[in-house]
Amino acid sequence: MMSKQRWTGPVDRAMLDRHSLIGATTLVICMAISVVAAHGTTLKIVVAVLGVLAELGMVLGRRVLPSPLGALGATLAIATGLAITLLAPSGLGSVPVLAGTSVLPLRLPAGPVRHAGVGVVSVAFGISILVVTGSPAGLLAGVGAWFMADRSVEHAALQAERDRAVALLAEVEASRQALQEAAAVEERSRIAREMHDVLAHSLAGLSVQLQAVRAIANREGSPAVLTGPLDRAAELAREGVQEARAAVGALRAAPLRGVDDLKGLVGGFPGEAHLWTTGRARPLRPEAGHAVYRGVQEAMTNAARYATGSPIEVEVAWAERELRVAVRDQGLPPGRALSGVKGSGTGLASMAERIEAVGGSLSAGPAPGGTGWQIEMRVPV
């Protein structure tokens, strides 16, 4: 019997794709309106070509990581938008201008270069609206473009801080959990010492005393009605000593997390994370389950560091003889920067050692069939 369950983190990945699709569709509709507003077949063709170039420019500006090419794409969208505004005043050429203006400052280095680029675009947009409307008030459109560019930069800065906060929260949560478990182990050890020093010693002393009383009863020829309860009491004392020692050993052993705890781990992740489970769960050694849990935790923390803002997929697949767990990210999203949070550099090696110690294997590398990184763990069941 096969089962498939999904646990979704706090953010819906489809929302990001939906926003991109809405933006592209809106730009296409605006360009279609501009084509209709153009007079004459030749002008319609020219506006249509400019609309295609504007769409291409926005794709380059938003989706291509290298800043020079992204800046070129945003500039292309702005230039074609200005041209459409002048050729088809009744159209919506201002839309690609404003869209490109929101992207251009993110692709230019901060400082004089960014200010100069945004200033030139704002002046050009204000003049184009002035020419179209014939009113000096059209220059205010340039001010609006400047404010849009400024808000775009602020939004990008807030997004970068949020990404850094997510990475730091992932680090803090892992550290908090480790400290919590260490405190629990220390408390369990303290209780174990108390049980060993008090309960176990007391039971052992009681057992010795009962054996001594039994020996005296035998020597004095006591009847079975007396020696029988003494034998039973001595046996109970011996069993109590063994059980106390077993309890002390169990308390001293550190509590282990397992595959069942992955739902809470993924659900508590501060970023976007999803858990998929397929197959029927099978018996797994506690040490192996703990190694898998720690591996997933480290893999998710690494993804938050180096693929900041990317959704994380955790797949748990049960088979007849092994458990396969894969943690995959989608790579650094376009236009996003690394969180800046650095790891120790030994996380992957520690994961591999932990998994290999329970008879499993670990592989890491580029995710198959797409961008991003994948860490896969396999342990026997």
pLDDT of 135 reads: 85
- CA triple 9-11-12, angle to 5 deg: 100
pLDDT grade for 332, boundaries at 50, 70 and 90: confident
pLDDT of 138 reads: 81
- In sequence order, what are the residues at sequence separation of 6 or more whose Cβ sits closer than 8 angstroms to the Cβ of residue 364? 348, 373, 374, 375, 376
pLDDT higher for 184 or 108?
108
3-state secondary structure of 89: coil
210, 216, 218, 223 alpha-carbon torsion, rounded to 10°: -80
**Of 83-97, 190-204, 212-226, highest mean pLDDT:** 83-97
pLDDT, tens only, 159-177? 778 877 877 777 777 777 7
**What mean pLDDT comes out for the span 222-241?**
71
For the chain, percent of residues with pLDDT exceeding 70: 78
* Number of other residues whose CB lies within 10 A of the CB of residue 190: 11
- Whether 316 shows a pLDDT value over 90: the answer reads yes
Burial class (CB in 10 A: 0-12, 13-18, 19+), 144: middle
pLDDT higher for 176 or 356?
356
The pTM assigned to this predicted structure is 0.58
DSSP code, position 112: H
Looking up tokens 């360009």 gives: 31
Cα–Cα dist 162/155, whole Å: 10
Which superfamily, per CATH, for 259-380? Histidine kinase-like ATPase, C-terminal domain (3.30.565.10)
Strands (E), 170-250: none
pLDDT, tens only, 234-263? 677 677 667 766 666 665 556 678 899 999
pLDDT of 318 reads: 94
Q: Tell me the HSE value of 37 on the side-chain side, using a 13 A CA sphere.
A: 18
Which residue in 136, 137, 360 sits closest to 259, CA to CA?
A: 360
Six-digit token string for 85: 């505004």
Cβ pair 81, 141 in contact under 8 A: no
- Whether 214 shows a pLDDT value over 90: the answer reads no
pLDDT higher for 207 or 291?
291
**What mean pLDDT comes out for the span 285-312?**
88
- Whether 1 shows a pLDDT value over 90: the answer reads no
What are the boundaries of each domain within the chain?
A: 19-134, 172-252, 259-380
For the chain, percent of residues with pLDDT exceeding 90: 25
Cβ pair 291, 355 in contact under 8 A: yes
- Whether 127 shows a pLDDT value over 80: the answer reads yes
Which residue in 267, 322, 259 sits closest to 293, CA to CA?
A: 259
Cα–Cα dist 97/51, whole Å: 11
Radius of gyration of the chain (CA): 34
Cβ pair 177, 153 in contact under 8 A: no
pLDDT of 374 reads: 92
- Whether 367 shows a pLDDT value over 60: the answer reads yes
The dihedral region occupied by 134, where left means phi > 0, alpha psi between -120 and 50, and beta the remainder, is: left
- Whether 317 shows a pLDDT value over 90: the answer reads yes
Q: What are phi and psi of 378, to 5 degrees?
A: -130, 130
- Whether 350 shows a pLDDT value over 90: the answer reads no
- Whether 11 shows a pLDDT value over 90: the answer reads no
pLDDT grade for 6, boundaries at 50, 70 and 90: very low
pLDDT higher for 172 or 378?
378
pLDDT of 5 reads: 44
- Whether 101 shows a pLDDT value over 50: the answer reads yes
Q: What is the mean pLDDT of the chain?
A: 80
Cα–Cα dist 290/341, whole Å: 26
CA distances from 138 to 80, 128, 133, 144 (A): 19, 8, 7, 10
CA distances from 121 to 70, 97, 132 (A): 16, 9, 16
**Of 196-210, 250-264, 329-343, highest mean pLDDT:** 250-264
